[in-house]
Amino acid sequence: MRYQLDKKGREADMDGNNSGKFSDAKKALSLAARYAKDYVVAIRDRRVSPSALDLDRLRHFNRDLSRAGQPAEAVIESLHRYGSPATVASTGGRFFGLVVGGATPAAMGAAVMNAAWDQVAVLEASAPSAIYLERIAAHWILELLTLPQAGSVGFTTGSSMANMVCLAAARNALYQKLNINLAETGLAGAPPLRIIVSEQSHVTVHKALSILGFGTRQLVEAPCDAQGRVRADTFPEVDETTIICLQAGNVNSGAFDPFAEIIPRAKARGAWVHVDGAFGLWAAASPAKSVLTAGVEQADSWAVDAHKWLNTPYDCGLAICRQQGAVHTVMTTQAPYLQAGVDVAPKDMVPEFSRRARGVEVWAAIQEMGAEGIAAMIERCCRHAEHLCAGLADMGYEILNEVVLNQVVATIGTAEDIQQIVRAIQEEGVCWFGATTWRGKTALRLSVSSWATTERDIALTLEAIRRATEAQLAK
Ligand SMILES: Cc1ncc(COP(=O)(O)O)c(C=O)c1O
């Protein structure tokens, strides 16, 4: 029987000791919604990086630990007054640092709903609607990325953790084939596996491997071409004790490894192929760009972020694995008080036990944009990157990468000139991006990953770069 409080019951409930707190929640949420809306409305026209004064005003928070606390409204008020101005406007359209998506309107709204729900995504029983939505979102993700529909999808904090989950599954699955049950024996005494990484693997792949007990001396680096793609013709030998880490989207150049050439050969020899596709895997969702990911679906596991190119709020990555069982063997937890559901419980797909239901925002972003909207967003970001590339070349920059996706790497003058240009641009505040080193040269590095970026944003960015470049080269 469904249990419902009648009106009298509800009033009695609100009249209990916490009635003050419930009305505080109402006030705090109204205020937070108003300030969040003001923040979003203003974001297009404000500085991207905070001013020195805004950063200095953060000192407001530097107080002794409060003994008595403060009303919720006052807490929200100080976040608005001192926290908001000192944020980086990465949900606007002119943040091109790292690889950072914005947050779509529905995903942002869903994050607010999700905070109010405050579900613990351990079991179906603890978060029914949230987990239902996560399962739908997982199914859609596999369809969008054209990955095996029976695969398991774990909602992680990001691709760092998704890489770790997938590589943990790989490690256990390969040892299982050698009749070694790591859960019982541990790694001590187990024969070493062969780990092949790209010369250009992302640092977080190395971190994941190190956490999993694979030392640097165990890693074989596969040579890359000038774009940062692993070379199929010089790819090291593999066997059934090999884990291969490939990449969809190099963090500098945006380049993709030649999956169709490497994966079938590796699989035929019994190796496990993992693909770090933190942002680049989203190319598979675009008819115009999916040629870049051809063959990627033949891998065993994939890491990809929702908080990058799907433009959900932080934080959300996805650990996708062809064999559900491989992930569950490593991540499973059992205890008498845990009620079993029909499907594999979320706690058995990722390292966390208690976690927020971050898949709700994934569901919201996909529901809002649809497959066509997502493809259009990806293609729009790539077009913006091409415009940046053309504008930079026009200013005399040497473009160091083939702009196949959303990344642009360009250089001019000396390494010191680049550092000064980047510093001037970051200080001016019109846009934000950083410097990198690519093919031995210090360069500007821009990543266009936000749904919010417009042609006007690109024009303003190019003007800012021209100003800073001319001023620096005239010195
Ligand atoms: C190629 C690649 N892999 C992994 C990561 C790590 O992702 P996250 O920051 O979501 O953990 C990044 C981040 O930029 C990346 O570009």
DSSP 109-160: HHHHHHHHH---TTSGGG-HHHHHHHHHHHHHHHHHTT--TT-EEEEESSHH
CA triple 328-331-333, angle to 5 deg = 100
Residue that is written with structure tokens 């990543």 in the block: 447
Work out the average pLDDT over 328-341: 85
Rg from Cα positions in the chain: 24
Query: Rounded mean pLDDT of 24-42?
Result: 95
Average confidence (pLDDT) over 58-73: 96
Q: What is the pLDDT of residue 4?
A: 53
Q: How many Cα atoms are found within 13 Å in the side-chain-facing hemisphere of 300?
A: 26
**Cβ of 159 below 6 Å from ligand 1:** yes
202: Cβ below 6 Å to ligand 1? yes
Asked whether 317 lines ligand 1 (CB < 6 A), one says: yes
pLDDT, tens digit, 9 for 90 and up, residues 89-142 = 999 999 999 999 999 999 999 999 999 999 999 999 999 999 999 999 999 999
Q: How far is CA 344 from CA 73, 163, 171, 322, 348, in A?
A: 41, 20, 21, 15, 7
Please, which residues have CB within 8 angstroms of residue 288's CB and are 6 or more apart in sequence? 375, 379, 382
Q: Tell me how crowded residue 186 is: count the other CB atoms within 10 A of its CB.
A: 11
Under a CB-based contact definition with an 8 Å cutoff, are residues 84 and 39 in contact?
yes
pLDDT in tens, 377-412: 999 999 999 999 999 999 999 999 999 999 999 999
Q: Say what the pLDDT of residue 12 is.
A: 44
* DSSP three-state, residue 410: strand
Q: What distance in angstroms lies between residue 168's CA and the mean position of ligand 1's atoms?
A: 17
Q: Is the CB of 158 under 6 A from ligand 1?
A: yes
- Confidence (pLDDT) at 18: 67
Cα distance between residue 98 and residue 443, in whole Å: 14
Give residue 93 CA to ligand 1 midpoint distance, Å: 20
**Does 209 contact ligand 1 (Cβ within 6 A)?**
no
Q: Are strands 219-222 and 194-198 parallel, antiparallel or unpaired?
A: parallel
Q: Whose CA is nearest to atom 3 of ligand 1?
A: 278
Angle at alpha carbon of residue 305, lines to 281 and 129, rounded to 5°: 120
Ligand 1 atom at minimum distance from 158 CA: 10
What is the C-alpha separation between 407 and 384, in angstroms, rounded?
10
Name the DSSP class of 443: E
Report the mean per-residue pLDDT for the chain.
95
Q: State the pLDDT at residue 14.
A: 45
Q: Does domain 375-473 have CATH number 3.90.1150.10?
A: yes
Query: For the range 179-187, what are the long-range contacts, defined as Cβ-Cβ under 8 Å and sequence gap of 24 or more?
Result: 183/329, 187/213
Verify whether ligand 1 is closer than 6 Å to residue 200 (CB atom). no
Query: What angle, rounded to 10 degrees, do the helices at 105-117 and 359-394 form?
Result: 150
| Any ligand 1 atom below 6 A from CB of 99 | yes
∠ CA(62), CA(64), CA(66), 5° rounding? Answer: 115
| For residues 423-442, average pLDDT | 97
Mean pLDDT of 146-156: 96
Find out whether the beta carbon of 172 lies less than 6 Å from any atom of ligand 1. no
Tell whether the model's pLDDT for residue 5 goes beyond 60.
no
Instruction: Answer yes or no: CATH 3.40.640.10 is held by domain 111-366.
Output: yes
Residue 439: per-residue pLDDT: 92
CA 78 to chain CA centroid, Å, is: 29
Region for residue 406 given its phi and psi (left: phi exceeds 0; alpha: psi -120 to 50; beta: otherwise) = alpha
- In whole angstroms, what is the distance from residue 384 CA to residue 452 CA? 11
Nearest CA to ligand 1 atom 7: 159
Confidence of residue 1 (pLDDT cuts 50, 70, 90): very low
Q: Where are the domains of the chain?
A: 23-84, 111-366, 375-473
At residue 334 the predicted structure's pLDDT band, cuts being 50, 70 and 90, is confident
Query: pLDDT tens-digit profile of 159-181?
Result: 999 999 999 999 999 999 999 99
Share of the chain above pLDDT 70, in %: 96
Residue 87 CA to residue 226 CA, distance in Å, equals 36
Closest CA to 343 of 101, 105, 183, 128: 128
Instruction: Supply the pLDDT for residue 75.
Output: 97
Sign of the dihedral through C-alpha 144, 150, 154, 160: negative
Express each pLDDT in 209-243 by its tens digit: 999 999 999 999 999 999 999 999 999 999 999 99
Q: How large a percentage of the chain has pLDDT more than 90?
A: 91
